[in-house]
Structure 1
Amino acid sequence: MNRIITQLFFFLFVVFGLQQNFAQKGNVQIIGKVVEEANQQPIAFATVILKNKNTNENISGTTTSDDGSFEMTSKTPDFYIEVSFMGFATKTIKNFTTKNGQADFGLIVLKADVETLEDVTIIAEKSQTEFKLDKKVFNVGKDLISSGASAMEVLNNVPSVNVSIEGAISLRGSEGVQILINGKPSVLTNGDSNGLGTITADMIQSVEVITNPSAKYNAEGTSGIINLILKKDEKKGINGSVTLNTGSPNNHSVGLSLNKRTEKFNIFSQFGVGRRTFPFESERTNTYPATATSTERELTTIGDGNKNEKFYNVVLGTDYHINENNVITLSGNFAFEDESEDSDLAYYNYLAGTLNETTYRNENTTATNPKWQYDLQYKKDFEDHKDHSLLLSATGSFFGKDKKSLFEDINSTNSSDLQKTATDFKEAEYSFKLDYTHPFWEKYKFETGFQYDMNDVSNDYSVANLINDEYIIDPNFTNIFDYDQKVLGVYGTTSYEGEKWGIMLGLRLEDTNVNTLLKNTNEKNDQKYTNLFPSLHSSYKFTDDFSMQVGYSRRIRRPNLWNLNPFTSFRDKFNISAGNPNLQPEFTDSYEFTAIYKFNKGNVNLGVYHLYTTDVMERITSTDGLVYITQPENIGTNAATGLELNMKYNPFRWFTLTGNFNYNYFDRKGDYEETSFDFTGDRFTSRMTGKFKLPAKFDLEVSGNYSSKYKTLQGENNDNLFANLGVRKKILKGKMVLNLSVRDVFASRVFESFRNIDGNTVSSTYKRGRFVTFGVSFGFGKGEAMEFSGHKRF
């Protein structure tokens, strides 16, 4: 242990410039190259210490370059060298020959020493969080680099970010976060894959957290961006792992990850296959009060069902380093899903409190979903400055769904009616992007670029009823819906960043064209709008432990395909929903103030924010006295003021406590069809997670989540409380990881809501229940076991 700490101390001594250069004429020149024993790959940044043979004292030192080579000079011939690198056994060389004033040590081979690495105690270079102009940057230190650590474990140490035992990444309590790698989208960040598990902690230089994006980023609203910055000295050689998961209800999968890194190429691949089931239970009560012409009626609908899915996934990609300053990346992802769903609805019709009639509606649905994605990127780093760069990228994706449903209605006399629906859905998305960054003077920087996004959809939907033993198409609900959206964005930002203070100004212009068409009825709706999105960010560092940041940005939320698609849902014939082709986008002005305080055993992050949104998109429910129809509409404005508190406390090496609390007060104003929807309310969410390092290399994670009751436009949603639990065990020196997770331990995650529509009331309950998953992951070659299993985001 003392030997390792001493090596680390001298490594820091060398890296931070305390070394001296003894290169003088007449001295001994020392050269050599350090490589790995397993594959003879060079080791960059290995520490080479020059020692006195007589006193064993340190004379000087250096670190190896990218190709593993090193060069030093000694004033005395009485020396020897000691070579070390994290994760490898230290090598001492005392026997060598000197010829013509040069000591050539040739290839110095280091042997991997994982067991020693697991026992390392780091006394310096801890991870640090700092504020930049429009982001928080978490610089990854040596304290996170241990055998088996993955990008997931790094993210779990970042303030405002939490990673569950299953690998669900959330920012400020929301999972709607975009993950980038070196500022670019990647198939490795797909939420349904284990891609991030293939990136190990020692490959990551820093993590950028952006909660209020600047004009550089797409103005479409998201909960934030997390950007992983990888080191240039990526681990070379073969990285591979195999995962096997099983669970209840029905969650089984096998995955293989294989990566090969060389001096010029980084080839990565993933293969996965599995099947899973998502059960659900629901209950809904529609109440119609008595009037002068009718008695009180109540319709209670009780449903349950299972969605079954078989999935296949392939990821292939490569990075080609043309030279030190130019790299091309090409990657692709193909997936195929085979779905089946069975559900049953029972309708209990009451008149004046007495059961009058019971009917049933059964559904049988099958669907196949092919989908693919590709990504082609080119990045150039200019030699005049480390931040002077050009990035070009082109991405494309396709999603298809061939879906068929059969509905059977059974009445009280046991006679039945049959109805079929069919969907042929095709969606293609393309994006082209250019980003150029040019620093000028010492502390100023200018960024500019453009992005062009295209989204093309065709949805062929039909409904047919069985009449006289023949299915007859219902023209009222049969149509082809075409949706075409194009967005062109151009931006520019300029910034100043000093030692303590900085400011960034940005402006983004986005031109949007949306065209929708119902072909059978020739109903068109074309929208075109051009908008400016300014941003302003500033930060000030009072001390190394206390910083503040303020920001403003204007955002847009465009209505998506499903909000615009007018087709109705036929799953529940008394409660149907549809889109609205006339829906307009909503705009939000976002203001934010954040302060972070770091102390010895943790940090506290306090944020205050205000969001003002116009043309708010809300789902409005109306009724004809029997059937309830829900459709999105633009309803007025919403002003929300909130407080967020994030805390991470590590009082002991074996225990970490993470907490998140978010409160906001909102003021809604709006009118729809001569009805006022003005009201005020508040809500809060909280999460507390405890992580325990137990004996025998067991890890335990327990989390509790609570969401308060809050008002909605036509009613309220009830509070929600649930808990998750996970246990992890590393064996075989971290090469194998066993993982057990339980989501919703007490099956208490129940979604309850209440609506009041023109004096009629609707109360509904929906739940999925408990999920238990057990996973095994094994790393081979230089690979690390992936610590988290893939998961389906509901």
Structure 2
Amino acid sequence: MSSVKYMILVLFVAAVNSLLAQNNAITVTGKIVEEINEEPVPFATVLIRDSESNENITGTTSDEEGKFILQAASSKFSLEISFIGFENMIVSEFAIEGGEAKLGVIRLKKINTVLDEVELRAEKSSTEFKLDRRVFNVGKDLSSTGMGALELLNNVPSVNVSIEGEVSLRGSSGVQILIDGKPSIIADDPANTLSSITAEMIERIEVITNPSAKYDAEGTSGILNIVLKKDDKTGMNGSVTINTGIPDNHSIGFSLNRRTEKFNLFTQLGVGYRSLPRENENSNQDLVNNTTVNSTGTEYRNENFYNIILGSDYYINELNVITLSGNYAYEIEDQPSETNFSYFDSSGDLVSSWIREETTEATNPKWQFDLQFKREFEDSEDHLLLFSTQGRFFGKDQASEFEVTPTEGDLEFNDQQTETEFQQAEYIFKLDYTKPFSERITMELGSQYFISDVGNDYTVRNLIDGEWVTDPNLTNNFEFDQKVFGVYGTFAYEGDVWGFKGGLRLENTDLQTFLTDTEERNSQYYTDLFPSAHISYKLSDVTSFQLGYSSRIYRPRLWDLNPFFNIRNDFVIRKGNPYLQPEYTDSFELTSILVFEKISLNAGVYYIYTTDVIERVTTFEDNVSITTPENVGTNQRIGFEANFKYSPIKWFTLNGDFNYGYFKRLGEFEDQSFDFTGDQWTSRLTGKFKLPAQFELEIISNHRSSFQNIQSEISSVTFADLGLRKKISKGKLVLNFSIRDIFASRNREIMTSGDDFYVYSNSLRGRFVTLGLSYGFGKGEAMTYSGRRR
């Protein structure tokens, strides 16, 4: 571990000693619950009043578990607790021992007036801030109608999803995506597999730019944690949703939850059909021979999909809970495409043209199970022992046929066939222990063992003299076996003014790849330390600061390592590199949070230093561009980020997100220098309107500036989304309408150049319109369901 990391650990340990010395005022703690069912009441207002003057002294709000902590300067005070839909409560009698007033469980009584539970949810802030993360609450997004998880990520501050499905955080790729705090096979290849998760299934998305040592060190840019809903209201609750859209996006979703004293049973079902067209344009120019190959066409991904989630919580007693859940999804794909090719000589004359038609059929089974045992202790609700195990599988059985039809000239190309048999199985075993020593001091310890086993059997055949002949240069079976063992420890202190969390994680990686046909092996074995540290300081009730540091790793994924590729376009080829090494990153950030009556602002600066940066390097031969990931030097990035929420009037809210980064690249590959500097900025502006007759309107505008990598320039893009919602019967019935990419302007244009070539590519998804109707019964909320991929 570098001296910089050791120095940071020493400084933060010194900070802890000074923090723990601060404890002069009276600490007031408690937990707020509903009187009838003992459910926590989050975001309730807690005010401390002077007993003599009755003036407000200070205040706070309860967290998601209904808990609160604050300090009083003297013992002469009372508390007023309030929350919409409940009667206000005054607490004036309590005991003070050892400088602490432990109020225990405080039960609020509901007002008799029937309230709209969905409306309560809608009033919840869209973004919350915690010590080491930001939380984006999904329920308020109107334009999420018909969205899948990947599209929803694109609405999260600091996150950008390209049209190709690549996820970046603050302009950098290498993001780790978690599902309920755990790695998932459906997040391993986001562009193709996050369709299994739909908007109505998601409770919130957590953005963790500097994760603590409790989390996997994977992901150099940080972590995005997708937290799924698991309704725990008593009784029978559920919702039914029907969606339709253009292009084809038709689905029916059903969610059901049953809560009893001992069991919490939950299930979600979905079935539908979707079509995802994409227009492509490519041009390959040979600058030595002055020849050009152009191609234009439209490709489709048509899918029938079926999805079921089933699970249960079993409450053994008040302290022990077992949770078992499973998810099974099955997709039937049909991918027709037609591409027109043209070949021009050095004089610019058309030499030949042809049409390449693709017919692809595939089936994709996916399953996942989770088993978790949680043990609580009587001394504290936060004293926990948690054991969990998870298994997941993704398979693809795909067959493609490519037929070439000449339209001009005498160039000849063979018809081709491909077959893919892909299987990926992963298993995770985790043990986590949390021990609070007081209301302010907490320790965490844990370990994790991760196993990934993958096989990709890929065959290419050419039609020669009327017979299908296997191409040995493009056919092989790629095996990928990775094991990662990690242990961690963290220490946290959280007071009214100061907060600190520091930790250290150790991970050992054992990676083996094997090309069975050619008997090529690659082994990587390494052990690393990953420290993390966070400090928070509350300057006043409206101003807070956070300072964070973490060390991260980005291990090459399967498709980064697999050297075999899809031959959809013989002139534009992407393949993996089995000898790719991991990236390492040190990340520092300082953020400030200001919360006023009508506006909240989060702003910060960050510095990110990455070594062994993985870049896509393009080579060129015979008008064919081949792009392969390579480790190319270092990258330093300095940036500024700001997010705000402004509510000047009750019926209008404005949210904004801005990020600017300046980077310096230093690197060399095959005697070619890739040193350069550049910058990139992104912005998002969202307007939310509450209209008469229970209509709600949301308009989102996005802009991403142009930016440069080692060989390419990616053009700027601006696009907008719109959502409209009508609530009926106090929100139990909801009509949703959305238009994504209103102006059909969200494209991805890339210009790649070298000494002897120039490659242009442009890809466009186009406009998507979705109409949905949702009905919630019991205490369920009418939300949305869709199987949309992006």
**TM > 0.5 fold call:** yes
Say whether residues 1:649 and 2:646 are aligned partners.
yes
Match of 2:560, SS state, is helix
Aligned to 1:690: 687
C-alpha displacement at 1:759, in angstroms?
2.9
Aligned to 2:321: 327
Aligned to 2:268: 270
Q: Which amino acid aligns with 2:563?
A: P
Q: Distance in 2 between matches of 1:307 and 1:695?
A: 40
Over residues 739-761 of structure 1, what are the superposed CA-to-partner deviations in whole Å (9 max), with x where a residue is unaligned?
A: 11101101111211111122311
**8 Å contact 1:611–1:639 — kept in the other structure?**
yes
Match of 1:712 among 686, 704, 709: 709
Q: Which amino acid aligns with 2:374?
A: K
Aligned to 1:10: none
Q: Which amino acid aligns with 1:152?
A: V
Q: Which amino acid aligns with 2:306?
A: Y
Aligned to 1:30: none
Q: Distance in 1 between matches of 2:325 and 2:678?
A: 47
Q: Distance in 2 between matches of 1:119 and 1:370?
A: 38
Match of 1:354 among 349, 353, 360: 349
**8 Å contact 1:715–1:754 — kept in the other structure?**
yes
**8 Å contact 2:747–2:764 — kept in the other structure?**
yes
Say whether residues 1:390 and 2:385 are aligned partners.
yes
**8 Å contact 2:338–2:355 — kept in the other structure?**
yes
Q: Distance in 1 between matches of 2:655 and 2:227?
A: 21
C-alpha displacement at 1:325, in angstroms?
1.6
Match of 1:323, SS state, is coil
The aligned runs of 1:186-201 (5 Å cut-off) are: 192=195, 197=200
**8 Å contact 1:166–1:790 — kept in the other structure?**
no
Aligned to 2:336: 342
Q: Distance in 2 between matches of 1:691 and 1:337?
A: 35
Q: Which has the higher contact order (CA 8 A, sep 6+)?
A: 2
C-alpha displacement at 1:602, in angstroms?
2.0
Q: Which moved more, 1:606-615 or 1:110-119?
A: 110-119
Aligned to 1:313: 307
Over residues 713-769 of structure 1, what are the superposed CA-to-partner deviations in whole Å (9 max), with x where a residue is unaligned?
A: 112111001111111111122111111110110111121111112231111111011
C-alpha displacement at 1:337, in angstroms?
0.2
Q: Distance in 1 between matches of 2:271 and 2:344?
A: 47
The aligned runs of 1:236-275 (5 Å cut-off) are: 236-275=234-273
Work out which of the two has the higher radius of gyration on C-alpha atoms and give 1 or 2: 1
Does the C-alpha gap of structure 1 residues 238 and 169 become closer, same or farther in structure 2, counting only changes over 3 Å?
farther
Match of 1:316, SS state, is strand
Match of 1:579, SS state, is coil
The aligned runs of 1:398-547 (5 Å cut-off) are: 398-411=393-406, 412=408, 417-440=414-437, 443-547=440-544
**8 Å contact 1:507–1:532 — kept in the other structure?**
yes
The aligned runs of 1:579-618 (5 Å cut-off) are: 579-618=576-615
C-alpha displacement at 1:178, in angstroms?
7.2
Does the C-alpha gap of structure 1 residues 596 and 417 become closer, same or farther in structure 2, counting only changes over 3 Å?
same
Over residues 402-429 of structure 1, what are the superposed CA-to-partner deviations in whole Å (9 max), with x where a residue is unaligned?
A: 0001011223368763211100000001
Aligned to 1:215: 213
Unaligned runs of 5+ in 2: 1-27, 45-81, 89-108, 162-166, 168-174, 188-192
Match of 1:417, SS state, is coil
C-alpha displacement at 1:127, in angstroms?
6.6
Match of 1:170, SS state, is coil
Over residues 506-533 of structure 1, what are the superposed CA-to-partner deviations in whole Å (9 max), with x where a residue is unaligned?
A: 1111101110011111111111111111
Match of 1:153, SS state, is helix
**8 Å contact 2:695–2:724 — kept in the other structure?**
yes
Q: Which amino acid aligns with 1:741?
A: S
Match of 2:139, SS state, is helix
Q: Distance in 1 between matches of 2:669 and 2:121?
A: 64
Say whether residues 1:658 and 2:655 are aligned partners.
yes
Q: Distance in 2 between matches of 1:277 and 1:18?
A: 49
Over residues 79-118 of structure 1, what are the superposed CA-to-partner deviations in whole Å (9 max), with x where a residue is unaligned?
A: xxxxx9977999xxxxxxxxxxxxxxxxxx9998546779
C-alpha displacement at 1:277, in angstroms?
0.5
Over residues 396-454 of structure 1, what are the superposed CA-to-partner deviations in whole Å (9 max), with x where a residue is unaligned?
A: 10000000010112233687632111000000011010111112255322211011111
Over residues 262-288 of structure 1, what are the superposed CA-to-partner deviations in whole Å (9 max), with x where a residue is unaligned?
A: 111110001110010110111111122
C-alpha displacement at 1:662, in angstroms?
0.6
C-alpha displacement at 1:496, in angstroms?
2.4
Does the C-alpha gap of structure 1 residues 137 and 460 become closer, same or farther in structure 2, counting only changes over 3 Å?
closer
**8 Å contact 1:338–1:369 — kept in the other structure?**
yes
**8 Å contact 2:285–2:623 — kept in the other structure?**
no
Does the C-alpha gap of structure 1 residues 192 and 267 become closer, same or farther in structure 2, counting only changes over 3 Å?
farther
Over residues 197-216 of structure 1, what are the superposed CA-to-partner deviations in whole Å (9 max), with x where a residue is unaligned?
A: 4788xxx9xx9753310111
Q: Distance in 2 between matches of 1:494 and 1:445?
A: 6
**8 Å contact 1:188–1:195 — kept in the other structure?**
no
C-alpha displacement at 1:644, in angstroms?
0.5
Over residues 198-235 of structure 1, what are the superposed CA-to-partner deviations in whole Å (9 max), with x where a residue is unaligned?
A: 788xxx9xx9753310111011115434586999x942
**8 Å contact 1:373–1:397 — kept in the other structure?**
yes
Q: Which amino acid aligns with 1:327?
A: V
Over residues 43-79 of structure 1, what are the superposed CA-to-partner deviations in whole Å (9 max), with x where a residue is unaligned?
A: 899x9xxxxxxxxxxxxxxxxxxxxxxxxxxxxxxxx
Q: Which moved more, 1:169-178 or 1:341-350?
A: 169-178
State how many pairs are aligned. Answer: 679
Q: Which amino acid aligns with 1:172?
A: S
Q: Which amino acid aligns with 1:224?
A: I
Q: Distance in 2 between matches of 1:198 and 1:491?
A: 31
Q: Distance in 2 between matches of 1:372 and 1:126?
A: 33
Match of 2:785 among 785, 789, 792: 789
TM-score, normalization by structure 1 = 0.79
C-alpha displacement at 1:353, in angstroms?
1.8
C-alpha displacement at 1:710, in angstroms?
1.0
Does the C-alpha gap of structure 1 residues 86 and 503 become closer, same or farther in structure 2, counting only changes over 3 Å?
closer
The aligned runs of 1:709-788 (5 Å cut-off) are: 709-786=706-783, 788=784
Q: Distance in 2 between matches of 1:426 and 1:733?
A: 47
Unaligned runs of 5+ in 1: 1-14, 20-32, 36-40, 48-83, 91-108, 139-150
Identity of aligned residues (%): 51
Q: Which amino acid aligns with 2:258?
A: K
C-alpha displacement at 1:789, in angstroms?
3.4
Q: Which amino acid aligns with 1:218?
A: D
C-alpha displacement at 1:182, in angstroms?
7.8
Q: Which amino acid aligns with 2:378?
A: E
Aligned to 1:368: 363
Q: Distance in 2 between matches of 1:737 and 1:704?
A: 24
**8 Å contact 2:547–2:589 — kept in the other structure?**
yes
Q: Distance in 2 between matches of 1:115 and 1:495?
A: 39
Aligned to 1:170: 156
Q: Which amino acid aligns with 2:544?
A: S
Match of 2:280 among 282, 296, 312: 282
Q: Distance in 1 between matches of 2:126 and 2:743?
A: 37
